[in-house]
Structure 1
Amino acid sequence: MKTFLNRRHVALAGTPSHLVAVAQPPQPAAAEPAVEPAAEEEPPDEAAESARPVPTLRAVAVVPSQVNGRPVRIADGNEFAALAAGNELTTFRVFRSFDYAVSLQFHAKELTYYVALHQDSVLWRALKAADLDAAGAVFRHLEEQATRLADGEARRAQLLAQNEQLVKQIEESEALAERLRNDLQRHASQEHLVTARQHQVRKEVAQLEAQRIAAQAQLNKAHRMIHQLSVATNEGVPHLPGR
């Protein structure tokens, strides 16, 4: 057991590393010493473990951050801005949602792909990939992130439109209510005028009817007087016999 522990060691230096077990060829068996009667027998498990080959641990370089197994790293923002300003990038894909934009661009001279996330036309994040598949995976990831970030903007735009529509409907409803109120007031005012007019007309009709009755009575009286006078006048005319 002590022999096994003594053989395990790791020589690591520099960057972080993974430990990989490498099998060593079995060592030649040493000559067995003479067995002394007083020596204790080694337990079977420890004896088997001592006979098993001991692997040697070696350092392995750490792989940089990857997407789907392909290397992707953070890009230098100034370098990306310079390439974009110099028209050295070819745009493959663009996704835009409100103030957020994701672009996948290709640098032909270096055979390198850049995926950038902008917020309000200002560079927020840029990543660099060596092949199109890795860059596409990064683009989809940032597209999902931009979509989530823009959800609040989308809800804000919807609520603004709904509130504007509600305000417009309120204004239209209030205008309609005002027109109906004016109509009711005009109707009530006109009804009052009509009622007053009808009362005045009935009063005048009653007066005219009374005047008519009085005039008719006066006319009847005049007719009776004329008749009486006519009779009285005719009484003075001699009666002439007929031939």
Structure 2
Amino acid sequence: MKLNFRFLAIAAFLGIVLSSCSSDDDNGLSLKAPEISNFEYGEGSEHSTDQVAYKGSDVHMEAEINAEATVSSIVVSIHSHDLTPTEGEEEWDFEQTFTDEKYLVINPTFHEHIDVPENIPSGEYHVVLTVNDEAGNSTEVEGHLQIMAPITLSDYSIDTSVVRGSDFHAEFMINALHGIHNITVDAHAHGVTPGEGEAEWHYEEAFEEGYHGETEVEFHEHIDVPATAPAGEYHVVFTVEDEEGNVVEYETHIDVTAS
């Protein structure tokens, strides 16, 4: 009788232990992968969410993470979509793993600023945020980021010819993240020799009024061409400089005619 009682007691004990282990295993297996919500990113200085960033600036990135198991790492990847670097540019393929103490918890909020190099191609980049936990789960979210130069010019409307003694019209849109310092126009001849009664014409002027400090503005000017300017082809360069010293140029040609 005693032997049967001991056997039943041992069996009951083993049953409890096995049940406890099974319960622990079930709890481990039932831990859900992290959930990522409110994933946002954009121009760093403004904490923007418009999914645009600028070369030489930074990207603000933020997300809320709901994790049943402790987070083990957070990985950010940014790479281009078939962008070909031009002269002076380099391909940018960014990846960084974050294991800061503030993130290795149950429900962290991810918030970082990632520097954007100055010498990379403008265009669309693919962004991936991956969260890994200590249970071996992994979750990722992705999106696209438009990386632009700090100064962009667009919507050009510039005369291609002008009669000397009159003026030519030039206009285009300027977007300057750091504000415009000035706009310089330079016009000079291409191998044109002045004839009798003519004088070499080399025009250069810096425009600030109405433009200085503006972040979005239309350049619109009429530039006089002297009646004594030799007829021929002239090279025209529009240079926009911002308050941070960034410079962008637009080059074109204009034909100066006698009549």
TM-score (norm 2): 0.23
TM-score (norm 1): 0.24
Larger CA Rg, structure 1 vs 2: 1
Q: Which has the higher helix share?
A: 1
